[in-house]
Amino acid sequence: MFRRTTHSPEQTRAVAERLARLLQAGDVLTLTGDLGAGKTTFTQGLAKGLGVEEPVSSPTFMLIREYEGRLPLYHMDVYRLGEQAGSEDLGIEEYLYGDGVSVIEWAEFVQPLLPDDYLQVTIRKTGESERRIEIAGHGVRFARMLEELDETCPI
Ligand code: ADP
Ligand code: MG
């Protein structure tokens, strides 16, 4: 488990940016946290670390947004779908098992579709501009990656 406390959106982006440099095609990240916790902010950092130049905003009205970088970034927010998300045929799996990095806000709604290996990012609001970030690796692929993130993270 990787843990950090950040004190600004910039710091949250910096953690994510560092993580992004370690990601490979097909990696899946889930983002858990209340509205306003910082899930989209974290995704903006990932995008920067993947070399995405386009600005990343909340995909609330789009469900899935695709960005071009060192690897493609698929940013999904399944909040509006709620409990139905896992049962509807939305083509989410084609992204999850595709050749980009998939980031899913509110992934608890699509839990049954997730691959065996994924990174679970949890963000908790602990103050006005303070956030507790925890990243857990599911599956063997991520143990070493999270150690490396711990050693190299600027925050
Ligand atoms: P979510 O996608 O989880 O609903 P957003 O990333 O859209 O959340 O919004 C997070 C809000 O919290 C932004 O307005 C951001 O500026 C603010 N914020 C304040 N401090 C932090 C921090 N340390 N990390 C991330 N966001 C922060
Ligand atoms: Mg969001």
SS (H, E, C) 30-89: EEECCCCCCHHHHHHHHHHHCCCCCCCCCCCCCCEEEECCCCCEEEEECHHHHHHHHCCC
Tell whether 137 is covered by a domain: yes
pLDDT value, residue 105: 92
Minimal-distance CA residue to ligand 1 atom 7? 40
Note the pLDDT of residue 62: 63
What span, in angstroms and rounded, lies between the C-alpha atoms of 49 and 66?
Answer: 15
What is the residue with the minimal CA distance to atom 6 of ligand 1? 38
Quick one: pLDDT at residue 27?
97
CATH code of the domain containing 86 = 3.40.50.300
% pLDDT > 90, the chain: 74
Ligand 1 centroid to Cα of residue 89, in Å, is 30
Instruction: Quote the ligand 1 centre to 131 CA distance (angstroms).
Output: 8
**Alpha-carbon gap, residue 73 to 93, rounded angstroms:** 14
Can you give the pTM of this predicted structure?
0.94
At 61-93, the pLDDT tens digits run 668 899 999 999 999 988 877 767 666 667 888
- The per-residue pLDDT for 112 is 86
Rounded mean pLDDT, 130-152: 95
Distance, CA 15 to ligand 2 centroid (Å)?
17
- Evaluate if residue 95 carries a pLDDT over 80: yes
Does the Cβ of 43 fall within 6 Å of ligand 1?
A: no
Residue 155 lies in a domain: no
pLDDT at position 69, please?
A: 97
Domain membership flag for residue 10? yes
Q: Is residue 112 part of a domain?
A: yes
Q: What is the pLDDT of residues 119-138, one digit of tens each?
A: 999 999 999 999 999 999 99
Range of the domain at 28: 2-150
pLDDT of residue 78: 86
Task: Please indicate whether residue 39, judged by its CB atom, sits closer than 6 Å to ligand 1.
Answer: yes
CA neighbor of 72 nearest in space, from 90, 46, 50 = 50
Q: How many domains does the chain have?
A: 1
Give the ligand whose atoms come closest to the C-alpha of residue 123.
1
